[in-house]
Amino acid sequence: MSDAVPPCVLIISGNDPSGGAGMTADLQATSALGAHPAPVITSLTVQDTSNAYRVDAVDPGLVAEQARAVLADLPVAAIKIGLLADAGIGEAVAEVLEEHPTPPVVIDPVLVDAGGAQLAERSLETVLMERLFPLATLLTPNALELRRLGGETGDRDSRARRLLATGADWVLAKGADEDTPGVENALYGPGEFVEVSRWRRLPGDYHGSGCTLASAITALLASGAAVQRAVAEGQKYTYECLMQAYRPGRGQFVPRRFHETHEAEDA
């Protein structure tokens, strides 16, 4: 027996039965980085490593009860929110978070999967912008989600600033889904803060890279890292996972979330 309790991370996300994305990605990434994950499932999806075929949302009351049980018992040091699936679940999660002085909250605003399938109801977008983003420490939209939520017009900067205007503290605008030779991620923060990091574009398509990154950052925040450092280290960890990715099925590659660490190169 040991008295040493790892930092606890409450994870609110959906299940992907292929084990590539969703809760499995979240559990593996947080565990690999030394945190104790507390998983609250919002939805069951039917998918393989190529496509998502169906999303069934859990009853919002049941999602809220799971989260309340965890928050009442465990010393939650950070919260990661992934797929919420519908507006009712979004509202229920917002209510729970509003009841507590919350630790850092990372929201990965999952709307579609890597193959383009719709994973969340369009009405969730309003709940994200109005109820959940104001409670967030960090948002991690990909380019498509940033366009959907931050507006079709404008550029990355103006869209990210629109998300910050909801009350979120930081936005990490991810660029892996842009048609660019390299991958550029930009961290926007208080005032005029912008920090761009560039990564070599690795060959192949990946399932669960966004979940891995958001969960890694959350685990690092839970262990006391400041946002900028957690974002930098989380990206390095995810890049290593992708460098060592494997292909368990017939579709996309899956990040190897338990791996030997090397010195990850920035592009």
User: Minimum Å distance from CB 81 to ligand PLP?
Assistant: 11
User: Minimum Å distance from CB 8 to ligand PLP?
Assistant: 21
3-state secondary structure of 212: helix
DSSP-H helix ranges across the chain: 22-32, 60-73, 87-98, 124-127, 143-150, 156-164, 209-222, 227-243
Per CB under 6 A, the segment of 8-16, 30-38, 89-97, 231-239 that binds ligand PLP is 8-16
Q: Would you count residue 19 as binding ligand PLP (CB under 6 A)?
A: no
Please identify which residue in 39, 210, 234, 251 interacts with ligand PLP, judged by CB under 6 A: 210
Q: Would you count residue 235 as binding ligand PLP (CB under 6 A)?
A: no
DSSP string, 8-71: EEEEEEEE-TTSSSHHHHHHHHHHHTT-EEEEEEEEEEEE-SS-EEEEEEPPHHHHHHHHHHHH
3-state secondary structure of 77: strand
The structure tokens listed for 52 are 């998502």
Q: Would you count residue 14 as binding ligand PLP (CB under 6 A)?
A: yes
CA 135/CA 103 separation, integer angstroms: 10
User: Minimum Å distance from CB 42 to ligand PLP?
Assistant: 8
Q: Would you count residue 49 as binding ligand PLP (CB under 6 A)?
A: no
Q: Which residues contact 164 (CB under 8 A, 6 or more apart)?
A: 170, 171, 188, 189
| Interaction mask 128-167, ligand PLP, x per CB under 6 A | ----------------------------------------
The structure tokens listed for 70 are 């965890």
Which 108-127 positions form the footprint of ligand PLP (CB under 6 A)? 110, 113-114, 119
User: Minimum Å distance from CB 26 to ligand PLP?
Assistant: 8
CB nearer to ligand PLP: give 47 or 137.
Answer: 47
The contact set with ligand PLP (CB under 6 A) reads 13-14, 16, 21-22, 45, 47, 52, 82-83, 110, 113-114, 119, 207-211
